[in-house]
Amino acid sequence: MKHTDVVVVGGGHAGVEAASAARRLGAHVILVTLNAAQIGAMSCNPAIGGLGKGHLVREIDALGGIMGVAADRAGIQYRLLNRSKGPAVQGPRAQMDRALYREAVQELVAELGVEIVEAQATDLIVSAGRVAGLRTDVAGDIQARAVVLTTGTFLNGILHIGDEQRSGGRMGENAAIDLSQRLYGLGLPMGRLKTGTPPRLDGRTIDWDALEMQPGDADPVLLSFISDATAARQVPCHITHTNGRTHEIIRRNIKRSAMYSGNITGQGPRYCPSIEDKVSRFSDKSSHQIFLEPEGLEDSTVYPNGISTSLPADVQLDYVRSIEGLQNVEILKPGYAIEYDYVDPQALDNTLQLKDLERLYLAGQINGTTGYEEAGAQGLVAGLNAAAACQGRPPITFSRTEAYLGVMIDDLITRGVTEPYRMFTSRAEFRLSIRADNADQRLTPRGIELGVIDDIRKDKFDRKIRELDEVRRVLNSKAFSPNECRTAGIELSADGARRTGFQLLSMPNVDEADVSKLMPELASCARHAVVQVGREAIYANYLERQERDAERIRRNEALAIPQELDLRSVHGISSELRDKLHRIRPGNIGAASRIEGMTPAALNALIYSIRLENNDIARTAL
Position 105 pLDDT exceeds 60:
yes
Phi, psi of 118 (to 5 degrees): -90, 110
Task: Give dist(CA 590, CA 123) in Å, integer.
Answer: 35
Phi, psi of 182 (to 5 degrees): -65, -40
Task: Give dist(CA 124, CA 143) in Å, integer.
Answer: 10
Residue range 337-374, pLDDT digits in tens: 999 999 999 999 999 999 999 999 999 999 999 999 99
Q: How far is CA 217 from CA 205, 214, 449, 577, in A?
A: 27, 10, 36, 50
Q: What does the pLDDT read at residue 620?
A: 58
Task: Give dist(CA 396, CA 126) in Å, integer.
Answer: 24
Residue 319: exposed, middle, or buried by beta-carbon count in 10 A (0-12, 13-18, 19+)?
buried
Section 117-144 average pLDDT: 96
Q: What does the pLDDT read at residue 518?
A: 95
Sorted by sequence, the CB contacts under 8 Å of residue 85 that are 6+ apart come out as none
Sorted by sequence, the CB contacts under 8 Å of residue 433 that are 6+ apart come out as 539, 543, 546, 547, 550
Position 304 pLDDT exceeds 70:
yes
Q: What does the pLDDT read at residue 387?
A: 98
Task: Give dist(CA 395, CA 410) in Å, integer.
Answer: 15
Pairing state between β 331-333 and 115-118: unpaired
Per DSSP, 484 falls in state: H
Model confidence at 617, pLDDT cuts 50, 70, 90, reads low
1 and 143 Cβ atoms separated by less than 8 Å: yes
Q: What does the pLDDT read at residue 541?
A: 82
Give the bridge partners for 75, in sequence order: 96
Helix axes 98-112, 67-74, angle to 10 degrees: 140
The three-state secondary structure class of 103 is helix
Model confidence at 621, pLDDT cuts 50, 70, 90, reads low
339 and 193 Cβ atoms separated by less than 8 Å: yes
Section 261-279 average pLDDT: 86
Q: How many CB atoms lie within 10 A of CB 22?
A: 34
Residue range 313-335, pLDDT digits in tens: 999 999 999 999 999 999 999 99
Closest CA to 56 of 541, 421, 396, 542: 421
Section 224-253 average pLDDT: 97
Q: What does the pLDDT read at residue 464?
A: 97
Pairing state between β 479-480 and 499-500: antiparallel
Task: Give dist(CA 618, CA 260) in Å, integer.
Answer: 59
Handedness of CA 153, 94, 282, 163 (dihedral sign): negative
Task: Give dist(CA 229, CA 220) in Å, integer.
Answer: 8
Handedness of CA 583, 585, 589, 592 (dihedral sign): negative
367 and 375 Cβ atoms separated by less than 8 Å: no
CA angle at residue 39 from 36 to 44, to 5 degrees? 135
Task: Give dist(CA 19, CA 11) in Å, integer.
Answer: 9
The amino acid that residue 345 corresponds to is P
The three-state secondary structure class of 195 is strand
DSSP 366-422: GGTB-SHHHHHHHHHHHHHHHHHHHTTPPP----TTT-HHHHHHHHHHHH--SS-B-
Q: What does the pLDDT read at residue 233?
A: 98
Section 579-592 average pLDDT: 87
Average pLDDT, the chain: 93
Position 484 pLDDT exceeds 60:
yes
Residue range 277-289, pLDDT digits in tens: 999 989 899 999 9
Task: Give dist(CA 328, CA 315) in Å, integer.
Answer: 15
Closest CA to 101 of 299, 272, 325: 299
Residue 90 or residue 595, greater confidence: 90
Sorted by sequence, the CB contacts under 8 Å of residue 317 that are 6+ apart come out as 199, 331
Q: What does the pLDDT read at residue 95?
A: 98
Q: What does the pLDDT read at residue 622?
A: 47
Q: How far is CA 141 from CA 118, 122, 358, 363, 423, in A?
A: 13, 10, 19, 22, 37
Q: What does the pLDDT read at residue 112?
A: 97
Task: Give dist(CA 569, CA 354) in Å, integer.
Answer: 23
Sorted by sequence, the CB contacts under 8 Å of residue 393 that are 6+ apart come out as none
Model confidence at 1, pLDDT cuts 50, 70, 90, reads confident
Percent composition of the chain: helix, strand, coil (DSSP 3-state, to 5): 40, 20, 40
Model confidence at 144, pLDDT cuts 50, 70, 90, reads very high
Position 618 pLDDT exceeds 60:
no
514 and 488 Cβ atoms separated by less than 8 Å: yes
Residue range 374-415, pLDDT digits in tens: 999 999 999 999 999 999 999 999 999 999 999 999 999 999
Section 143-156 average pLDDT: 96
Model confidence at 616, pLDDT cuts 50, 70, 90, reads low
Residue range 536-575, pLDDT digits in tens: 999 988 887 888 878 877 787 888 888 888 888 888 888 8
Give the bridge partners for 337, in sequence order: 160, 196
Position 444 pLDDT exceeds 70:
yes
The three-state secondary structure class of 287 is coil
Q: How many CB atoms lie within 10 A of CB 37?
A: 12
